[in-house]
Amino acid sequence: MDFSPLSENDIEEMLKCIGIKKIDDLFEDIPPQIRDPIIKIGKGISELECLQKLQELSKKNKVFDAIFCGAGIYNHYIPPVVVELTHRSEFYTSYTPYQAEISQGMLQAIFEYQTSICNLTGMDATNASVYDGATALTESLIMAKAISRKNKFIILQPINPEYHQVIDTYALSSDYIVDYKSIDILKQMDPSSEIGAVVIQNPNFIGEVQDINYLVDLIRKKFPQAVIIYLVIEASSLGILKRPGSFGIDIVCGELQALGLPISFGGPTIGFIATLSKHMRKLPGRIVGKTKELHGSQEGYILTLQAREQHIRREKAASNICSNEALCMLSVQIYLSSMGYSGIRQNAELNIRNATYLKRKIHELTSYSVVNFESPIYNEFLVSCKRGLYPKIEKLCIMNNICPPLKLTNKMIELLSIGSSIHFSEDFDYFLVCNTEMNSKESIFTFVEILKEAGEQ
Amino acid sequence: MTEKTSIPTIFEKSNNCPLTHHRIPVSNLLNDKLSDLIPNSFLEPPHGYACDEKLILPEISEVELVRHYITLSKRNYGVDNGFYPLGSCTMKYNPKVCEYISSLNGFNHIHPYQPECQGALQLMYELESKLCEIVGMDAFTLEPAAGAHGEFTGILIIKKYFEDKGIKKKYIIVPDSSHGTNPATSAMCGFAVIQINSNNEGEVSLTELESVMKQGDVAGIMLTNPNTLGLFEREILKITEIVHKYGGLCYYDGANMNALMGKCKPGEMGFDIVHLNLHKTFSTPHGGGGPGAGPVGVKSFLQEYLPNPRIIKIEDRYYIEDFAKLSIGKVKTFYGNFSVLTKAYTYIILLGEDGLKRASENAVLNANYIRVKLSSLLDLPIKRLCKHEVVFSDKNMPNNITTMDLAKRLLDYGYHAPTIYFPLIVHGAIMIEPTETETKSTIDGFLSTIEKIYQEALNNPEVLKMAPNNTPIGRLDDVEAARNPILKFNCNC
């Protein structure tokens, strides 16, 4: 099946108008030795066959009833109204809103989204999204370099290992140097004016809600020149935690998947960067501003501050970003509007309660220990058990149609151990449990039973 | 003339106190005081006000929410609304079956760290191999989230390749007709940019290329073919040969691949690295500016540099792990924009090799039809066969009518405007890309509208200067927007 509606007759007429005999004549400027290659991908099929084939393929993925895995992608409730409205094809089949007069819908939605994100983070300005949380962080580091004119950065551990890897990749391209440190190590460091930025992930990778007030004070004392970056990967926590802007943070960035986007095997998601007014011209990517008509009195919206961008500045641009995650942005904005602050607050509280309940239950079990039992948590926590126990848990979970928690791989442990104060022992398996509002009481009980059974085997 | 209107923001439609929606239940597991779970000082006060009287988020009933965004959707223009001849962007029709499949639970409701995801891995593995076939590469990564992200990945591979070999390279060459992302990417990866001029045929000048390559510290070239004038670089084999001769690598910007599927492979043109824009060529929608996907393909000598993790197939099972030994690392969390990948995969198996080839043929046919029909009216700087798009200049426009005026007047007649003022080497460029999914009568309608606008330009130029008139809002003051940025509602709060 294809989607080109030209008939034989149409083609005949058009060729005649162009003054050529056959379609192949349109390609005669391609060197003959490379013209008309064979591509072996199979002949086209009917829509029905295609549908059946892909439905079959989709069934090879297990869709779990309950999910106890997070670690950067979070299973949250998405009200049907969000999906319905985002699927208006006036939105999803449009291009970047360069032609403002016929793109007011998307432009206004972006403006509203920018308002929501600024309000939620307590910051002054944000962009219309970047690819994901990790690239939001790397772009924030590039911003921090421009602001502080320094290229040495400290990332507080434990940070999500996926993010750690992306930071290291981007460090190959830019001339920045990154050090990973635990808070304990940070406390012992000598003051320095050489540090350009410090990154705090909150809640951190193992789910702990941190004392940001204390950390900001500490960092300002040690590294007075540093730009403080608050990284949020579980954005539903913004529904209850004190807004980062109230601590005097310079840049808030991260991932908004938790606010209205499906888990979708990890993508697409949406990165954001919010900052203070004084740094807004250093933001990468598209930004929408409000303005007036040139010849009239109505107010409207337009892409603005474009002098930062690649299509104007070429090699002098703030970033090379062009396409972003606009439709994900729309989902987030509609999600936030459908919930209101009251809704996301209630949801965040439920996450804290469900996860803390499970944390306590697991800690009571003889074969398991919650590594960060004493810390306040949002919706995740780290559990250890004797080595070799995890595969039993995984097997029982799958049998009960439960997506098991994430077992930390050797690579993850290696990354988390850099400059860290968590001691990982080779005698244990470590797994990160996530419990959102989506897991029913029954599935939580089943999960605890599974852990118990696996431990007793 | 349509009356212009502004729509209040959703914040202005909000109640001034929190609503109770009951979308989320209350906890039935743990009834401790919240402050016993998390210190009160870590928490935002529960009232939800950003400042004295302003709520953090709108509080609005569902019906009001729906009406607001439906109203906004009507003030937006997509391919589903009408013809979208936006050059360089390949705004083709987005088949609904692709949308449907990407929303299947088995694709949409799976966690990237979950066990039992063979279907997803198989889909990605097969998509990689199909893309390899289409562009003539040996290995692909699906990780990059967009074209520019793919460029970043590809240029970083080039950088690491030379660094690992201990060869110092300083420059990347881009033609003056290149996309802005090309020089921006090169700079982002730490290369200095050398821009070379096009010859008077609109193609890369071989003599200039050779003289720049001779310097010896050029890492390579970034090239689009067909180039942004819509012209096939006829000397492409010599271009890649020259770059290789002086130790450089050739990067193919796949933005214009819709011209060439089944007609010619970048790998056979001599390119070493390719990125594709799945949201262009393979019809996953643009989404108002994303999410896209910008997979990167390489020849075998570079495959160990691709981002990790890689997917491999052993017997009948698929594995995703850090197999690439010299990898540049990860460029994104997890494995790329998976749901975009499911749409592109669906599109590719639906059309197959014959359908993709016909898509490119008809895209090129439509563009050449427009080229011939319009060249009696508008100035065509380079008069020869084009590929999937055609670029006119503003030279023949009467009465000081600009490209901008023409573009804005097209909006009045219900069309999206072409890409304008790009490429930079054509004065007042008007870049038209019809794609293969339009009927002849749609294109004929567009052509006669341009003719009508041309007559207006002769007889009633004022109507063009004031255009658009029939849109929800008139031309906006972009200078004021940048001078005094208002980036959120009620920002003096």
What string of pLDDT tens digits covers the 493 residues of chain B?
Answer: 678 889 999 999 998 777 777 899 988 899 999 999 999 999 999 888 877 677 899 999 999 999 999 999 999 999 999 999 999 999 999 999 999 999 999 999 999 999 999 999 999 999 999 999 999 999 999 999 999 999 999 999 999 999 999 999 999 999 999 999 999 999 999 999 999 999 999 999 999 999 999 988 999 999 999 999 999 999 999 999 999 999 999 999 999 999 999 999 999 999 999 999 999 999 999 999 999 999 999 999 999 999 999 999 999 999 999 999 999 999 999 999 999 999 999 999 999 999 999 999 999 999 999 999 999 999 999 999 999 999 999 999 999 999 999 999 999 999 999 999 999 999 999 999 999 999 999 999 999 999 999 999 999 999 999 999 999 999 999 999 999 999 999 744 4
What's this model's pTM, rounded to 2 decimal places? 0.97
Q: A113: burial class by Cβ within 10 Å (0-12, 13-18, 19+)? A: buried
Which of B29, B39, B307 comes nearest A357 by C-beta? Answer: B29
Q: How far apart are CA A369 and CA A358, in angstroms?
A: 12
pLDDT digits (tens, 9 = 90+) for A351-410: 999 999 999 999 999 999 999 999 999 999 999 999 999 999 999 999 999 999 999 999
What end-to-end distance do the CA atoms of chain A give, in Å?
A: 55
CA distances from A262 to A80, A455, B104 (A): 12, 33, 11
Q: Please classify residue B414 by burial: count the beta carbons closer than 10 Å to its beta carbon, then call 0-12 exposed, 13-18 middle and 19+ buried.
A: middle
pLDDT-derived band at A313 (thresholds 50, 70, 90) equals confident
Torsion on CA atoms B298, B303, B307, B311, rounded to nearest 10:
100
- Taking contacts as CB-CB distances below 8 angstroms, the residues of chain A near B353 are 39-44
User: How far away is chain A from the Cα of B195, in angstroms, using its nearest Cα?
Assistant: 10
Going along A310-388, which residue ranges are E strands? 368-370, 380-386
Residue B266: CA count within 13 A, CB half-sphere: 33
Contact A349, A341 (CB under 8 A): no
What residues of chain A lie within 8 A of the CB of B146, using their CB?
131, 321-324
How many angstroms separate the CA atoms of B345 and B348, rounded?
5
Q: 């008509």: which residue's tokens?
A: A293
Range A256-289 burial, b when 16+ CB lie within 10 A, else e: bbbbbbbbbbbbbbbbbbbbbeebbebbbbbbbb
Residue A309 has pLDDT above 90, yes or no: no
Query: Distance (Å) from the C-alpha of residue A218 to the closest C-alpha of chain B?
Result: 17
Say if the Cβ atoms of B477 and A293 lie within 8 Å.
yes
ipTM greater than cut 0.90: yes
Number of other residues whose CB lies within 10 A of the CB of residue B41 = 11
Phi-psi sector, B317: left (phi>0), alpha (psi -120 to 50), beta = beta
- Two structure tokens written together for B228: 């942004």
Q: Which residue in B110, B152, B193, B405 has the most chain A C-beta atoms within 10 A of its own C-beta, making it the best mutation to test that interface?
A: B110
- Show residues of chain A in contact with B41, CB under 8 Å: 213, 242
- Are the beta carbons of B229 and B262 closer than 8 angstroms? no
Bond prior to B418 in cis (omega within 30° of 0): no
A345 to chain B: nearest residue by CA?
B46
- The neighbouring-strand residues paired with B311 are B320
Nearest to B89 by CA among B234, B225, B223, B257: B257
CB B48 within 8 A of CB B56: yes
